[in-house]
Amino acid sequence: MTRLSVNINKIATLRNARGGNIPNVLEAAINCQRFGAQGITVHPRPDERHIRYSDVYDIKPIITTEYNIEGYPSEKFIELVLDIVPNQVTLVPDPPDALTSNAGWDTIKHRDFLKKVISRFQAKGIRTSIFVETDIERIKNAKETGTDRVELYTEPYAANFSTNREKAIEPFIKAAEAANNVELGLNAGHDLNLDNLKYFYQNISGLLEVSIGHALISDALYYGLENTIQMYLRELKN
């Protein structure tokens, strides 16, 4: 079974644009869970331009589904995660000023750094995942960091899906095989949507979780949040 984790950053972006507490991020997290989401993902950034550090704390006691915190492992971020103890932490290599995550880790160059960070999380019983591209050697070397899972950065797949879906999915099939071969759990995320999700799901072996935010929240403007989550869940069924 592939789990759907809903990234609620965009709800926080909308709230922050006007100030106040509308839309209510905590209520959104509760509703995503109530409507069938099997996980809630947040990505706090240093400037708190969407999810705030206070949101990350406030969400923990109000949900019973899986809680995934993703971000760049600065010392402040590490301390946040160790304090909250979510089910999963996803490490991304993006700098503080990045608009969105746009690359995976070089697990060869940053192996020792990642190994130290991951060991701190695992000492608290937190499952770890690291953001990677489809480079086979980097996926194999991810095993050396001690991580539990890798999350495939799927923007290249999404960008090329409409022109040649077979070619777009090919490197991800190989990447998934590499992860499975070294016994790494497999997540995926970035620009997955109602058009391309089912094909990805049907072709990627061992896919444990997808994290979807921008597209899902955007679709909810048209279809409603409950209906949208159910639509995405249907894409993850055989």
User: Cα(156)–Cα(101) distance, rounded to whole angstroms?
Assistant: 13
* CA nearest to 215, candidates 199, 198, 229: 229
Task: Write 93-102 long-range contacts (CB < 8 A, 24+).
Answer: 93/131, 96/45, 96/46, 96/47, 96/72, 100/190, 101/43, 101/70, 101/131, 101/153, 101/190, 102/153, 102/155
Bridge partners for 3 per DSSP:
209
Whether residue 190 lies in the annotated active site:
yes
Active site residue 70: yes
Catalytic residue among 50, 66, 70, 133: 70
Tell me the C-alpha distance between 33 and 57, whole Å. Answer: 17
Q: Environment class of residue 42 by beta-carbon count within 10 Å: exposed (0-12), middle (13-18) or buried (19+)? A: buried
Q: Distance between CA atoms of 34 and 220, rounded to whole angstroms? A: 15
| Selected catalytic residue, list 43, 66, 133, 209 | 43
Query: Pick the catalytic residue: 50, 66, 133, 190?
Result: 190
Q: Which residues contact 37 (CB under 8 A, 6 or more apart)?
A: 4, 5, 6, 65, 229
Q: Is 214 a catalytic residue?
A: no
Q: Indicate which residues carry an active-site annotation.
A: 43, 70, 190
